[in-house]
């Protein structure tokens, strides 16, 4: 026996001492220590074993034997790496020369492995996190102690929550149930280790189901085509059984219990799980069926799948309610705007007649009051126009009449339109719009865009401030900048600023009125011209809007 045999070999129920007894005193001390050590080792659920310099096992605790399925005799004195560390998680060979445990034994430095697997006596494996602590004698490594914990439950929990996140992302990215189904099945299969995922829809009397959507991993195409083919009667296969019972069903040995009546192609996974899907009125609306190898069908997986199914149903129910509300709001706004337009046109027409003196002469006071009525009716007409346009933009029925337009001229005209209002607030307005800058655009819409930005600059800049408008050209683009020294927009709210009806707190808290439509319309006009609009990040107070439009370069070359 080699000298390493002097180290006690501790196993589940006691100590096997292979050293020759030296003396009674030594033995009793030795035995007392060993008993204590034995109790400590047996009491922990952490796997723990000792190695000598050659990597051979010198002792193991109860937990190691229970977790690996080995008997004490089959491990003691055997090389640990060869016994249960020979293969990596991906199935490839794990050379002993690359093993951190062996490295720790050789180097005398401790090692931690966060992602590792150990192999059981029955050939299955389990994920572990392990640490190796070298045993040193006079600074020289004489072996090591290895501790490990089984991280299966933690890994499973991580996998489940990652899958739920992936499902949430798919739901967020897709606009309809039909569009979401296949990516959902893919996310669940990839996350939980299934090869095939099928979604089945029942007929009205729940007597049979047909396959609605599927995900099949590469390499399982033949099995996927077979499993998703045709119609299943209630009670047939895992999905049909789940339909019949209204409960989750797990089939673990598909070779002995074929999931379909026809003859199976090769490569059908070993296990299946089927989950009934109930709608918000508790009616059975679908069955989800997954196929994978045994490892994928652990107990917890049924719970995870049930949770995911509930998550999906609730999300879709919420979304269809939101969509309905949204649709009703759109319809309401469109109807109201349309109905308002007719009386407004009539008011405007009659006002023209009265103001023009056709209904008899007006006193100065009557003229003044009717002027106020006219201005307000024009405001209302603009508002209704904005509402109608916003509806058209939303429904994609918004048209542009494109001609060649000089943006520099347009900017000067738009600035003149707000000049009176700016002067009324003692705002300094500067314009820099050199030369002719030609874009292909809809003149009226571009004017509306500039007017929105400039009217906002006037509206949101307190008295005595300034507004600066600039047009500049660069390769193929024309850049319009509208800056002001006004109240600004809080940074956190900037992302919403181009949304319809959104109004920043800096405006609402000061009681400045508006509809929140102008910028949404401005964005649609800009994008309709192939351009972009954004809010520049600025250190100083105030706001800077930038619009960039594609430019007709031919015109510039002629200048
Ligand atoms: P409205 O001006 O009718 O409220 P808009 O869509 O034109 O609607 O603008 C949306 C919101 O953006 C405004 O309510 C305001 O909070 C903010 N905003 C737009 N332009 C400016 C600006 N120049 N300075 C500060 N805030 C602005």
DSSP state, residue 21: P
Percent of the chain residues past pLDDT 70, beyond the cut: 94
Question: Is ligand 1 within 6 A of the CB of residue 522?
Answer: no
Ligand 1 centroid to residue 536 C-alpha, Å: 14
Closest of 300, 276, 322, 319 to residue 168, by C-alpha: 319
Mark 131-156 as b/e (b = at least 16 C-beta within 10 Å).
bbebbeeeeebbbbbbbbbbbeeeeb
The alpha carbon of 420 and the centre of ligand 1 are apart by a number of angstroms equal to 20
Structure token pair of residue 146: 């290895």
Residue nearest to atom 3 of ligand 1 (CA): 514
Return the structure tokens found at 377.
Answer: 């009716």
CA atoms within 13 A on the CB side of 88: 11
Q: Report the alpha-carbon distance of residue 110 to residue 507 in Å, rounded.
A: 62
For residue 127, the model assigns a pLDDT of: 93
Whether residue 11 has pLDDT greater than 60: no
State residue 501's pLDDT score. 87
* Radius of gyration (C-alpha) of the chain in whole angstroms: 38
Q: Is the CB of 453 under 6 A from ligand 1?
A: no
498 CB within 6 A, ligand 1: no
Average pLDDT score over residue span 271-278 = 95
Q: Which residues pair with 202 in a beta bridge?
A: 209
Q: Is 130 in the pocket of ligand 1 (CB under 6 A)?
A: no
Lowest mean pLDDT among 38-42, 178-182, 368-372: 38-42
Q: Would you say 6 and 33 are in contact if contact means Cβ atoms under 8 Å apart? A: no
What is the bridge-based pairing of β-strands 428-432 and 466-474?
parallel
User: Is residue 497 within 6 Å of ligand 1 at its C-beta?
Assistant: yes
pLDDT digits (tens, 9 = 90+) for 341-392: 888 889 999 999 999 888 899 999 999 999 999 999 998 998 888 888 888 8
- For residue 529, give the nearest of 394, 437, 439 by alpha carbon: 439
Ligand 1 in contact with 274 (CB < 6 A)? Answer: no
- Taking the centre of ligand 1 as the mean of its atom positions, its distance from the CA of residue 78, in whole angstroms, is 77
Q: How far apart are the CA of 341 and the centre of ligand 1, in A?
A: 25
542 lines ligand 1 (CB under 6 A): no
Q: Is 484 in the pocket of ligand 1 (CB under 6 A)?
A: yes
> Quick one: tokens of 76?
């003691």
Angle between helices 299-355 and 177-192 (to 10 degrees): 150
Q: Each residue of 41-72: pLDDT tens digit? A: 888 889 999 999 899 999 999 999 999 999 99
Pocket test for ligand 1, best of 504, 510, 523, 533 (most atoms within 8 A of CB): 504
Report CA(371)–ligand 1 centroid distance (Å).
27
Q: Whose CA is nearest to atom 20 of ligand 1?
A: 456
Residue with tokens 């542009």: 400
Distance 516 CA to ligand 1 centre (A): 7
**Residue bearing the CA closest to ligand 1, atom 25:** 488
Name the DSSP class of 510: T
Residue showing tokens 């709001």: 329
Q: Which of 468, 492, 514, 522 should be mutated for ligand 1, with most atoms under 8 A from CB?
A: 514
What pLDDT, on a 0 to 100 scale, did the predictor assign at position 4? 40
Here the tokens at position 194 are 């299934």
Q: Could you tell me if the CB of 524 is within 6 A of ligand 1?
A: no
Query: Helix, strand, coil proportions of the chain in percent (round to 5)?
Result: 45, 25, 30
Which atom of ligand 1 is least distant from the CA of 502?
10
pLDDT band at 23 (very low <50, low <70, confident <90, very high): low
Q: For ligand 1, what atom is nearest to the CA of residue 515?
A: 3
Q: What residues form DSSP beta bridges with 48?
A: 147
Section 187-216 average pLDDT: 94
Task: Please tell me the distance between residue 512's alpha carbon and the centre of ligand 1 in angstroms.
Answer: 9
CA 306 to chain centre: 20
> What pLDDT is attached to residue 554?
61
Q: How many CB atoms lie within 10 A of CB 356?
A: 9
CA 211 – CA 239 distance, rounded (Å): 10
DSSP code string of 96-133 = GGG-HHHHHHHH---EEEEEEEEE-TTS-EEEEEEEEE
Ligand 1 binding pocket mutation candidate from 421, 503, 523 (most atoms within 8 A of CB):
503
Kindly report the protein residue whose alpha carbon is nearest to atom 16 of ligand 1.
Answer: 504
**Mean pLDDT of the residues in the chain:** 88
**What is the pLDDT at residue 24?**
67
The two beta strands, 403-406 and 284-292, are unpaired
| pLDDT at residue 474, as a whole number | 86
- Per-residue model confidence (pLDDT) at position 17: 40
Q: Is the C-beta atom of 507 inside 6 A of ligand 1?
A: yes
More confident: 37 or 461: 461
Give residue 104's pLDDT band: very low, low, confident or very high (50, 70, 90).
confident
Range of 154-168, 336-350, 520-534 with top mean pLDDT? 520-534
Between residues 162 and 21, which one has the greater pLDDT?
Answer: 162
**Ligand 1 close to Cβ of residue 523 (< 6 A):** no
Query: Does 339 score more than 60 pLDDT?
Result: yes
Half-sphere exposure at residue 164, Cβ-oriented, CA atoms within 13 angstroms: 17
The span from the CA of 299 to the CA of 302, in Å, is 6
Look at residue 482 and give its three-state secondary structure: strand
- Residues 448-502 have pLDDT tens digits of 999 999 999 999 999 999 999 999 998 889 999 999 999 999 999 999 999 988 9
State the DSSP H helix or E strand holding residue 51, giving kind and residue range, or none if neither.
strand 47-52
334 CA to centre of ligand 1 in angstroms: 23
What percent of the chain clears pLDDT 90, i.e. is strictly above it?
A: 60
Which is it for strands 249-251 and 271-278: parallel, antiparallel or unpaired?
A: antiparallel
């Amino acid at each position: 026996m080699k000298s390493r045999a002097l180290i006690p070999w501790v196993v589940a129920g006691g100590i096997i001492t292979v050293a020759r007894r030296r003396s009674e005193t030594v033995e009793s001390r030795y035995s007392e220590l060993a008993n204590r050590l034995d109790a400590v080792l047996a009491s922990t659920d952490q796997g723990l074993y000792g190695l000598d310099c050659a990597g051979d096992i010198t002792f193991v605790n109860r937990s190691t034997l229970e977790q690996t399925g080995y008997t004490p005799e089959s491990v003691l004195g055997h090389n640990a790496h060869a016994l249960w560390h020979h293969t990596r998680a991906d199935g490839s060979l794990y050379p002993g020369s690359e093993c951190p445990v062996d490295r720790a034994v050789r180097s005398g430095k401790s090692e931690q492995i966060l992602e590792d697997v150990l192999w059981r006596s029955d050939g299955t494996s389990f994920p572990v996190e392990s640490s190796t602590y070298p045993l040193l004698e006079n600074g020289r490594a004489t072996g090591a102690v290895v501790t490990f914990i089984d991280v299966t439950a933690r890994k499973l929990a991580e996998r489940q929550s990652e899958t739920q996140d992936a499902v949430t992302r798919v739901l967020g990215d897709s606009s309809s149930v039909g569009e979401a189904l296949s990516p959902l099945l893919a996310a669940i299969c990839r996350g939980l280790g299934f090869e095939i995922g099928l979604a089945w829809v029942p007929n009205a009397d729940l007597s049979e189901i047909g396959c609605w959507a599927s995900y099949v991993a590469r390499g399982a195409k033949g099995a996927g085509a077979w499993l998703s083919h045709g119609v299943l009667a209630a009670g047939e296969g895992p999905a049909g059984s789940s339909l019949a019972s209204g409960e989750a069903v797990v089939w673990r040995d598909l070779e002995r219990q074929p999931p379909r009546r026809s003859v199976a192609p090769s490569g059908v996974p070993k296990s299946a799980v089927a989950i009934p899907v109930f709608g918000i009125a508790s009616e059975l609306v679908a069955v989800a069926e997954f196929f994978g190898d045994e490892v994928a069908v652990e107990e917890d997986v049924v719970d995870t799948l049930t949770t995911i199914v509930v998550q999906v149903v609730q999300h879709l129910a919420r979304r269809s309610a939101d969509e309905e509300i949204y649709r009703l709001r759109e319809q309401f706004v469109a109807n109201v705007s349309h109905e308002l337009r007719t009386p407004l046109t009539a008011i405007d027409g009659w006002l023209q007649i009265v103001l023009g003196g056709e209904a008899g002469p007006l006193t100065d006071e009557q003229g003044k009051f009717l002027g106020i009525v006219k201005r307000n009716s024009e405001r209302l007409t603009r508002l209704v126009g904005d509402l109608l346009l916003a509806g058209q933009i939303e429904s994609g029925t918004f048209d542009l009449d494109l001609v060649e337009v000089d943006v520099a001229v347009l900017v000067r005209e738009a600035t003149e339109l707000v000049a009176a209002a700016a002067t009324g607030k003692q705002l300094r307005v500067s314009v820099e719009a050199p030369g002719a800058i030609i874009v292909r655009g809809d003149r009226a819409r571009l004017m509306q865009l500039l007017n929105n930005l400039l009217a906002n600059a006037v509206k949101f800049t307190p008295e005595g401030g300034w507004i600066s408008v600039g047009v500049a050209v660069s390769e193929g683009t024309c850049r319009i900048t509208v800056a002001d020294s006004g109240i600004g927009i809080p940074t956190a709210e900037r992302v919403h600023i181009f949304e319809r009806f959104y109004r920043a707190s800096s405006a609402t808290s000061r009681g400045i009125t508006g509809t929140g439509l102008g910028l949404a319309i401005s964005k649609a006009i800009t994008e309709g011209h192939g351009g972009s609009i954004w809010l520049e990040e600025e250190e100083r107070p105030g706001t800077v809007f930038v619009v960039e439009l594609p430019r007709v370069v031919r015109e510039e070359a002629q200048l």
